[in-house]
Homo-oligomer: A and B are copies of this chain.
Amino acid sequence: MRIAFEISYDGTNYCGWQNQKNGISCQQILEEALKKLFNKKTNLIASGRTDAGVHAKGQIAHFDCQTTIPPEKIALAINPLLPDDIQVLKSYLVKEDFHARYGAKQKTYEYAFYISPVKVPVFERYATRIDGADLDKMQSCCDTFVGTHDFKCFLASGSKVKDTVRTIFDARVFVDGDFLRFRVTGNGFLYNMVRIMAGTIVAVAQDKLTVNDVEAALFSGDRNAVGKTAPAKGLTLLSVKYE
């Protein structure tokens, strides 16, 4: 039977979601726990990779297994085999043709900032410090993201992906207690796309770029015409939706 996991992880100590030669990945930790639980090598397929240091609140992944444990209890069974910074929030039975990666229709990411002239240790783990903000300008920048566009200018340079057209359903900035959050929902994201968007929003807030510059960059596809790639630690994959 095919099981889906909703997974949360603190990415600080991992080389990212995907197995790599150097460093320990979230996938590796989870696959090792699945192997212990089912006494069998189990391949776990996620909705997509997350970079080193990126966090997840609701990553989705699937795997196949044969077990007498009821699907919704597998989360409870595997969590004691996992470290505190990677836990399964939910497990549930899915159809045999469910695919965590190819079936994903919508993903929501959040990038967190906090405003301070100096680093605040209790905010640093999940957010990036900025000196100031201008919510109206930042939201105007977000507005340019919404819709179906060629997001080539928001693709990490060096990436070889060919189809750079994606649809952004929603993009907004809002104040949430001590944090300023940039939340974006789309049908998919290019490598580093949300982090470059976050860096671009900050550049617009700081008058280093105008909203017109960002619109022009969407046409030109020039990576150098938008902002820097914001640090990984501020980014969290919030949720993934399927049909």
Contacts and interface: CB of A to CB of B under 8 A. Distances in A.
Interface string A99-132: 0000000000000000010111110111000000
A79 B119 contact: yes
A84 B124 CA distance: 8
Interface string A58-96: 000000000000000001100100001111111000000
Contact of A87 (B75, B119, B125): B119
A127 to B, nearest CB: 12
A10 B177 contact: no
A115 B11 CA distance: 21
A143 to B, nearest CB: 23
A57 interface: yes
Contacts of A124: 10, 84-85
A8 interface: yes
A79 B84 CA distance: 30
A122 B8 contact: yes
A10 B125 contact: yes
Residue of A9, A118, A122 with most partner-chain B CB within 10 A: A122
A120 B57 contact: yes
A87 B121 contact: yes
Contacts of A85: 121, 124
A56 interface: yes
B79 A10 contact: no
A55 interface: yes
A236 interface: yes
A8 B118 CA distance: 10
A176 interface: yes
A124 B76 CA distance: 17
A10 B87 contact: no
A86 B124 CA distance: 11
B9 A236 contact: no
Interface string A167-205: 000000000110000000000000000000000000000
10 contacts: A10-B121, A10-B124, A57-B122, A75-B118, A79-B118, A79-B119, A84-B121, A86-B121, A87-B118, A177-B177
Given A75-B118, A177-B177, 8 more contacts: A9-B121, A10-B121, A10-B124, A55-B121, A87-B120, A89-B116, A89-B118, A89-B120
